[in-house]
Amino acid sequence: MSKKEKPHMNLVVIGHVDHGKSTLVGHLLYELGFVDEKTLKMLEEEAKKRGKESFKYAWLLDKLKEERERGVTIDLTFMKFETPKYYFTIIDAPGHRDFIKNMITGASQADAAILVVSARPGEFESGMSAEGQTREHILLAKTMGIDQIIVAVNKMDATEPPWSEKRYNEIVNTLKKFMKSLGFKVDQIPFIPVSAWTGDNIIKRSENMPWYKGPTLVEALDQLQPPSVEKWMKLPLRIPIQDVYTITGVGTVPVGRVETGVLRVGDKVVFMPPGVGGEVRSIEMHHEKIQEARPGDNIGFNVRGVGKGDIKRGDVAGHPDNPPTVADQFTARVFVIWHPSAIAVGYTPVVHAHTASIACRIIELKQKLDPRTGKVVEENPSFLKAGDAAIVTFKPLKPMVIEKFQDIPPLGRFAMRDMGKTVGIGIVTDVKPMKVEIKLKK
């Protein structure tokens, strides 16, 4: 079967630092035959030489010297693989708190997530602490619109005793409680006990954990629901840019995922906020030229007259007759998750929406809402605190594309962060656009 006939899925792998995300992805790709023996052998030797043998699978993803020296993922890695049912792009995200903006970018491009949690004593607990990224990543994934999650309860070889069913149950119960409170349908979520290191329950059913009756990781991947392309196709074209490459022979290639609409070779496109654009010369997906890209497709495309310096991560491509909206101000329904003091007019958190992260100043607190019913409980509150829901107006400090959630949902939701933590989440209810001149190259 040709891969184009299989539906395409984008998967982001999330979880607390060091819980084994990269190792799991590396091992999965190896077992599925998407990494050859020779490459792994070479990495194994190199890792051994530097006393980092346990990172041999992770190094398939962690290619930067900085990442390898520190044993920590910094930026997203995109890899491709197939299962019987799907063609996947897997996005390995960093777990370290300081790189959460990269994780959010990855999550904003995904249809589903694999949450990796370590079962090793102490590690699960630190991920679920107030500062923990297990907690924060689940929340952010939900905020970025991910409803389908597979949970990999990892490092089962390192529980006390190894392969402990009791530990597994303890973890599953804690996670279910937390995820339910965020609105996940926890009964439909597979919780798979695995070892990314030994490979148990990745493809092969584990003999060490006969008590587990559910699907293996690969089986669970095939049980995911395909994204509904038709629904998003009818909306205006929006492609948030994730990175910009320069490729010899082709030139500047912005890459990103088509969120809504359809892009065809020969279309005129414009990148906002910069307002530059031109004709689409070529579109590439999975290293193959294609004529048309649809919602969910992770593509690279080349646009006549648009150079490396013109665009960057966070810009959004669209058609010039219905260009992405650059906000002078936007109003949103926000929920304050955490704040050590109070949020007042003037407060300026970093807003993360699609692939953009821009500091935005709060210029008006319009209404305080009852977080359960959504009813207005106070007009123009003087401040907000943790647990409050409210209608708030923001002014981006730099030009930024954001859309009404009602019009283009994937570009209408955001997270706010400050002091290394997620302060709140929001849904855009209104946008006051800024005039931006569009300059198309001939």
Q: How far is CA 255 from CA 224, 235, 252, in A?
A: 25, 20, 10
Binding status of residue 77 toward Mg ion by CB under 5 A: no
Q: Has 79 been labeled as part of a binding site? A: no
406 binds, among ligand GTP, other proteins, Mg ion, none (CB under 5 to 8 A by kind): none
Cβ-based burial of 345 (10 A; exposed 0-12, middle 13-18, buried ≥19): middle
Binding status of residue 2 toward other proteins by CB under 8 A: no
Binding status of residue 119 toward ligand GTP by CB under 6 A: no
- Which of these ranges, 72-80, 145-153, 310-318, 372-380, lies near Mg ion under the rule CB under 5 A? 72-80
Instruction: Please give the Cα distance from 363 to 390 (Å, whole number).
Output: 13
Of residues 125, 126, 127, 118, the one with CA closest to residue 157: 118
Contact 415, 140 (CB under 8 A): yes
Positions in 134-163 near ligand GTP (CB under 6 A) = 154-155, 157-158
Strands 251-257 and 298-303: antiparallel
CA distance from start to end of the chain: 40
Residue nearest to ligand GTP (CB): 95
376 binds, among other proteins, Mg ion, ligand GTP, none (CB under 5 to 8 A by kind): none
Instruction: Please give the Cα distance from 439 to 422 (Å, whole number).
Output: 37
> Could you tell me the two tokens for 172?
């599953």
63 binds, among ligand GTP, Mg ion, other proteins, none (CB under 5 to 8 A by kind): other proteins
Of residues 236, 292, 247, the one with CA closest to residue 4: 292
Give the total of residues touching other proteins (CB under 8 A).
45
**Is the bond into 161 cis (omega within 30 degrees of 0)?**
yes
**Amino acid in position 314:** G
- Which of these ranges, 16-24, 38-46, 207-215, 428-436, lies near ligand GTP under the rule CB under 6 A? 16-24
Strands 268-272 and 316-318: antiparallel
19 binds, among other proteins, Mg ion, ligand GTP, none (CB under 5 to 8 A by kind): ligand GTP
**Nearest residue (CB) to Mg ion, 99 versus 383:** 99
Nearest distance from C-beta of residue 248 to ligand GTP, angstroms: 30
Of residues 329, 323, 325, 257, the one with CA closest to residue 295: 257
Nearest distance from C-beta of residue 160 to ligand GTP, angstroms: 12
Nearest distance from C-beta of residue 52 to Mg ion, angstroms: 13
DSSP string over 383-399: -B-TT-EEEEEEEESS-
Of residues 410, 423, 371, 388, the one with CA closest to residue 183: 371
Q: Tokens 């010899």 — which residue?
A: 248
- Alpha carbon 37 to chain centroid, angstroms: 30
Binding status of residue 22 toward Mg ion by CB under 5 A: yes
Q: Has 321 been labeled as part of a binding site? A: no
Binding status of residue 233 toward other proteins by CB under 8 A: no
Would you give the binding string for other proteins spanning residues 267-306, x where CB under 8 A is met?
----------------------------------------
**Nearest residue (CB) to other proteins, 48 versus 63:** 63
Binding status of residue 154 toward Mg ion by CB under 5 A: no
**Nearest residue (CB) to other proteins, 178 versus 338:** 338
Q: Has 96 been labeled as part of a binding site? A: yes
Nearest distance from C-beta of residue 101 to Mg ion, angstroms: 16
Positions in 222-251 near ligand GTP (CB under 6 A) = none
Q: Has 27 been labeled as part of a binding site? A: no
**Nearest residue (CB) to Mg ion, 73 versus 201:** 73
Positions in 164-223 near ligand GTP (CB under 6 A) = 195-197
DSSP string over 102-123: HHHHHHHT-SEEEEEEE-STTH
Positions in 237-256 near other proteins (CB under 8 A) = 243, 245-247
Instruction: Please give the Cα distance from 149 to 152 (Å, whole number).
Output: 10
> What contacts 383, CB < 8 A, 6 or more positions away?
342, 343, 344, 365
* SS3 assignment, position 257: strand
> Could you tell me the two tokens for 319?
């058609």
Q: Has 19 been labeled as part of a binding site? A: yes
Q: Has 287 been labeled as part of a binding site? A: no
Positions in 80-99 near ligand GTP (CB under 6 A) = 94-96
Q: Which of 8, 16, 19, 21 binds Mg ion (CB under 5 A)?
A: 21
Which residues contact other proteins (rule: CB under 8 A)? 63-67, 70, 72, 74-75, 77-78, 96-101, 243, 245-247, 308, 339-342, 344-350, 357, 359, 361, 382-383, 385-386, 397, 417-420
Which residues contact Mg ion (rule: CB under 5 A)? 21-22, 73
